[in-house]
Amino acid sequence: MLYIIGLGLSDETDITVKGLKAVQGSERVYLEAYTSILTVGKEKLEEFYGKSVTVADREMVESESDAILENADKVDVSFLVVGDPYGATTHTDLVIRARELGIPVQVIHNASIMNAAGACGLQLYNFGQTISIVFFTDTWRPDSFYDRVAENKKFGLHTLCLLDIKVKEQSIENLARGRKIYEPPRYMTVNQAVEQLLEIEENRGEGHCTPDTLAIGCARIGTPSQKIVAGSLAELVNVDFGGPLHSLVLIGSRMHHMEADFVREYAVDKTTFDDLVKKSIGPK
């Protein structure tokens, strides 16, 4: 059996009982280590699970999946994913490859940012399409996701923005020269995401991500140190959210007044927040 097991959002104790039993009964255990991170390293997982854990980077999962799936039709293998197993398309691809090889697959779910985003006070059924914001470079400043924001805004829906993670990435020069030299890990902050959104808005000029746009910055959701701050994009760009992982929610005009009351407690400035809410959804 290939078990694909969600680990949740915080530390080694967030695994479900079902997931823990599967791990402890597996001959090999892999930890996917590039789409998200926990607050603890693999050593903590090994201590808690009582099993050796192999860290699987992007190259291994996407190009060497045969090593992960080897003999999984005869022995149990666990593939651990931070958050929920279906939070990244790579894990869907692994399931397809296992099926093609006749390997039984069992997915064990857990919390992910896709549902834990409700901690910010907005109702999940009022969210539209989720987008990903990637790091700008000197020569690549993509803005195609802005169209998804515009579609959500059209219907008054909130937009969850997942922020870029760069783990075990090579520079263009090292990649071209075939040198296995990797850049230090980078995790996009709310501040960087806001700066990029405001730059795109300045270029596009469609009014969906202006300095007055209401948003909520979230950091380390599901952990003891989580931080949630609401305000305009102009306000959030200056907030210190601390360490990774960060995400951003753009608030839609269909925000209910109960949502507004909940979110208000996280506001940088409650008076400013109240004024922007009135402009967005009107008075109570």
Token couple for 228: 């949630």
Residue ranges of the binding site:
9, 84, 87, 112-113, 163, 246
| CA–CA gap between residue 231 and residue 269 (Å, rounded) | 7
Binding site residues for S-adenosyl-L-methionine, as ranges? 9, 84, 87, 112-113, 163, 246
The alpha-carbon radius of gyration of the chain (Å, integer) is: 21
Distance CA 86, CA 112 (A): 9
Class of residue 48 by CB neighbours under 10 A (exposed 0-12, middle 13-18, buried 19+): middle
Instruction: Give the whole-angstrom CA distance, residue 82 versus residue 269.
Output: 34
